[in-house]
Amino acid sequence: MARTIPTVSLLALLALAAPPGAEAQVLYSRGGDVWEGWSVGAAIGRSGNEDEHHASGDRGTDLRGNLEAPLGPRVAVRAEAGRVSWRFDEYGPLHQLRDDDVTVRRVTVGLLGVTDPEVPVRGHFGAGLGFYHWKAKVGRIENSITRGAWFTAGITVPVKRRTWAITGEFQVHVIKSPNEGAPLSAGSPISGTAVLSLTPSIGFRLFL
C-alpha cells in the first residue's frame, strides 16, 4: 500500500504536466480516422482523344469535381461530374480542313481501392461507368448521350494535417461514339464505335 500511493501520485503529476494538445495528437496519429472519411475534390487536366480513324490533335482542358464516400478502410465509392472540350481542325475520311469544337460533359460513378489509410501518402485505383453528353459546334452528332467506362489511378499527398491534400491522377475514358453506325463524312468530327480519352490531372481534396 505504501508503494502504491507514490506510484499513483507520480502518474497524476505526469498527466497534469502533459501539454493540452497531447490527447488531440494521439487521436490525430490514427491516420485512418482521417483518410476513411467523406471527402470532396476538384481537378484540372489536359485531355487527349482518339477514335478508330483519327484524333483531334488537340489536348483540351478537362475540369471535374467529385465526392467520395468510404465503404470500408480500403474501399470507397466516387461520384464525379466533368467537362472537356476538344478542337478538331482536320477530320473526316478525306481529311478536309474544317474548324469545330466538340464538348463532352459527363457524370460517372465507380469504386476505388485505397492503400493503407495509416500511410500519410494515400494511393488509389478504380473503375466505373458513366453517361457522356456530346455537343459539336458545327459538326453532326447522331446520339447526344452515350455510355462509357472509366479507369483511374492516383495519389493523395497531405498538406495540412491530412484535412486537405494535393492530388495527382491519371484517368482513361472509353466512350461509345456518338456517331456509331453513321456513314463516314466530313461533317462528323467523331466516328467509329468508341472514343478513347486520356487525362493526366492535378487537383485538391478536402476531407470532411
Q: What's the pLDDT tens digit per position in 60-105?
A: 999 999 999 999 889 999 999 999 998 877 655 555 556 788 999 9
Asked whether the whole model's pTM tops 0.85, one would answer: no
Task: Please identify which residue in the block is written with the cell numbers 505504501.
Answer: 2
- Please tell me the distance from the alpha carbon of residue 128 to that of residue 37, in angstroms, as a whole number: 21
- Residue 188's pLDDT is 72
Q: 127 forms bridges with which residues in the sheet?
A: 111, 151
Domain 31-207: give its CATH code: 2.40.160.20
Say what the pLDDT of residue 44 is.
98
Query: pLDDT higher for 43 or 122?
Result: 43
C-alpha cell, 91: 477530320
SS3 content of the chain, % helix, strand, coil (to 5): 10, 55, 30
CA–CA distances in Å: residue 55 to residues 69, 97, 192, 203: 35, 13, 11, 26
Q: How confident is the model at residue 120 (pLDDT cuts 50, 70, 90)?
A: confident
Write down the domain spans for the chain: 31-207
Would you state the pLDDT for residue 142?
A: 87
Residue 1 CB burial class (10 angstroms; 0-12, 13-18, ≥19)? exposed
Determine contact, residues 124/156, Cβ cutoff 8 Å.
yes
